[in-house]
Structure 1
Amino acid sequence: MRQRPTAPEGLAPPRWVREAVRESSRTGRVLDHGFSDAQLKSVWWTSRLTEAGLADGTSPMITFPSTREDGTAVLTRADLFAMSADLRSKGRRGRDEQWLQFLWHVLAWGSGPSRRNNRARIDAFADPVTRRDRIGYLREAAERVWKEDVRGAYGALVEPGRGRIPGLGPAFFTKVLYFLGGDAPQERRAVRCLILDARVATSLRSCGWESLPKGNYNWFTDTYVSYCGLLSRWADDLSVAVGRTVEADEIERALFAGPT
């Protein structure tokens, strides 16, 4: 049986990760992390979704609820957390269209200035017959996330060699899982779903997790669970070192940015 890469026992965060967390607040580094309309090009999203029969073309499909100090409207992590909180409050009453609206915003934010492969992701929901099943996968994953079941959440969207939804591999669907987890404070520390993409994996290999495959990869469920557990442990350790509560997504953000 092929070995499933998990984090080396005792792996510690490197100095540059510790310094990144120490030198910035979570609000500035994580929650305010976003992109403007000039970067995400909402016109493209509205046009493409209309072509796929998923919009009527009369209103923008990507919105920018936050504003920077210079007046620029942006879509941030905090905005996506707010959208996911609304979905969670509705539970099973949430309409399919609301789930898709959340997905388009996560995909737009996750792509940043690039719209690479998003045409295929949109097309995966164009057919009304398969659309319901695929939204059902998102709902199933959300139920697992809300029960703090990292393994079950990842497993709901992955199949051997590919994601269950065409075009939506782990590098992107872990973004969906992460935002579905919400941003409400918890009474106890829990391992939560986090974003794992090629840039984060590259940084982790430089930190000593050498068994992680290179590039965007359909990671084993064991690998993803191990990754989320590793960053949760690092967050606990850094909370003591920094003297404040450090969240695991602060470390993910530092890993994404890489050493400076």
Structure 2
Amino acid sequence: METLTLDQVHHELTSLSREKDVLNQGFELGTSWWRDELRRAGMEVLPPLGGDSTSIYLDRRTLFALASEVIDGSRDPRDFTFHVLLWGSGTTRRNNRGRIDSLIAPTTSPALLDALQAAQTSPSTAFDAFRSRGRNTFAYLGPAYFTKLMYFAGQGRPTHPALIVDRRVLATLAGTEPGSGLSTAANYPRETYLRACSALEAIAASARDSGHPELTGCTADLVERWAFGRAALN
């Protein structure tokens, strides 16, 4: 495995910005399959997914805004979850029907809301709400996806403590000093998540202190975006 020094990481981070690479990270995504499947399951499909167009553009800004509606009680947490799943899975349909079926029950909403609220102050508590004792609470919704929900629950706050951690992020972090030795298993435990978040925060802090003027405002989610992109290229 390639070992990255913090100087190398800082150099690579200078080509990124939170505005462009994090907040504006989005995709044009087809909606027909999702609308058909959600209606099959008896779910009311709300905009933007439930609009008239056969495709929508979803970026992190939009998902932060939807999360705010969940927290203030004006949007069903399940609807928010399906939008995040669309953003996270893109054109891939693998396991999404199973995810829909595991989340569709109305009783799921309070559990999702509790986990999203917990993510704002206690990533550990939120992680356990989604996965405990080696089992995912919702079928086919493992850490790669539910940590996205935990992250977006922060509504875009740069200091939000819950971050997205999937196998690509773990693979990059494992080659850095702060993340050395991290497991890259898909269904990882809470301890791996907390250590990965700490590594992302440590790299962001070191970047802010590096002397690079481009990195004075470096955030942990910018480091996450860098880690994901770097692994995708390798």
Same fold at TM > 0.5: yes
Which residue, out of 43, 59, 84, partners 1:76? Answer: 59
The answer (yes or no) to whether the contact 2:172–2:228 under 8 Å persists in 1 is yes
Go from structure 1 to structure 2 and tell me whether the alpha carbon gap of 1:45 and 1:16 turns closer, same or farther (over 3 Å shift): farther
Letter matched to residue 46 of structure 1: R
Q: Report SS of the residue matched to 1:206.
A: coil
| Alpha-carbon distance in 1 for matches of 2:59, 2:174 | 28
Alignment of 1:238-253 (within 5 A): 238-241=207-210, 242-243=212-213, 244-253=216-225
* Alignment pair present for 1:165 and 2:138: yes
Displacement of 1:54: 1.3
Q: Normalising to structure 2: TM-score of the pair?
A: 0.85
**Unmatched tracts of structure 1, length 5 or more:** 1-10, 65-71
Question: What is the match of residue 21 of structure 1?
Answer: 13
Q: Superposed, which structure 2 residues align to 1:175-254 within 5 Å?
A: 175-184=148-157, 190=159, 192-207=161-176, 209=179, 211-217=181-187, 219-241=188-210, 242-243=212-213, 244-254=216-226
Change (3 A) 1:125 1:107: same
Q: Contact 2:117/2:153 (CA < 8 Å) preserved in 1? A: no
Distance in structure 2 (CA, Å) of the matches to 1:25 and 1:62:
31
SS of structure 1 residue aligned to 2:152: helix
CA 1:210–1:247: 2 relative to 1, 3 Å: closer
Alignment partner, residue 32 of structure 2: 43
Cross-structure match for 2:69: 86
**Percentage of matched positions with identical amino acids:** 31
Counterpart CA distance in 1 for 2:66 and 2:47 is 18
CA-CA distance at 1:229 after TM superposition: 1.5
TM-score, normalised to structure 1's length? Answer: 0.77
Structure 1 segments, 4+ long, off by >6 Å, are none
Q: Does 1:55 align with 2:44?
A: yes
- Deviation of 1:215 after TM superposition, in Å, equals 4.1
Looking at structure 1, the residues matched to 129 and 171 of structure 2 have their Cα atoms a distance apart, in angstroms, of 25
- Among 113, 118, 133, the residue aligned to 1:139: 113
RMSD of the TM alignment (CA)? 2.7
Structure 2 regions of 5+ residues with no counterpart? none
